[in-house]
A = this chain, B = another copy of it.
Amino acid sequence: MSYIEKTMKSEKVYEGKMLNLRIDTVELPDKKYSKREIVEHPGAVCIVPITDKNEIYLVNQYRKAIDKEILELPAGKIEIGEEPKDCAIRELKEETGLEADDYEYMLEFYTSPGFCNEKMYLFIARDLEEGEATPDTDEYIDVKKIPIEKLIHMIEIGEICDSKTIIGIQMVERLLKTKSE
C-alpha cells in the first residue's frame, strides 16, 4: 500500500513567530473527505555536548506549554536559510556558552508527525571549551553537567522526560558502547 492524501482545500488559521497552523481538507482513498489540523514548524536542532569524561551539558528551563521547568539538551529553532549545523553551533553557544571543535551529525527525526512537521536534527559536540552564555532576552536557562550513566538512570525513573533529550542521550550511550566493544 502506498498513497497520499490529496489536498482539496487549505486554510491558514494562524501565522506566528514560532509556528503556523493550517487546516487541510484532504481526499481519502475511498474518495471521502477528512480534515487535518497541521502545525507548521521551521525545524530545530538538538546538541549533545559531551566531555572526554562522558559528562553531558544540559539546560534547565521553564516551559510555558507544560507550565514547569524541564531538563533538556541544548536545542533551538532553525532560522530562515540557516544550515542545521550552523544552528547547532549558534544555539550551543547562546544557551550554554560552550564552543566545540568537533560537531558530528547523528540523526534526524520528527517530534510529532501526527500533527506537526517539526524535524529535529541531532548533533554530538566534542572538544568543548566553556564560555559565556548569551540566551535570548526571554530565555532564562540554567546549565548543568551530568555524567551519562546518571542521565540513563534519570530517563528510567522519569526525571528526564523530553523526547529529543531521551533520544540524544540513548544514541550517544550506544555510540560509546559500540566504540568500547
Q: Is the CB of A67 within 8 A of B4?
A: yes
If A16-B37, A32-B137, A167-B167 touch, does A162 touch B65 (CB 8 Å cutoff)?
Answer: no
Interface check A80, CB cutoff 8 A: no
The contact string, 1 if C-beta is below 8 Å from chain B, for chain A 17-37, is 111010110101100101111
Shortest Cβ distance from A68 into B: residue? B4
Copies in the complex: 2
CB distance B109 to A163 under 8 Å? yes
On chain A, which size bracket covers the interface?
35 or more
Enumerate A65-84 residues with CB–CB distance to B below 8 Å: 65-70, 72, 75, 77
Residues of A within 8 A of B (CB): 1-5, 13-14, 16-19, 21, 23-24, 26, 28-29, 32, 34-39, 41, 44, 60, 62-70, 72, 75, 77, 107-118, 120, 137-138, 140, 142, 155-156, 158, 161-164, 166-167, 170, 174
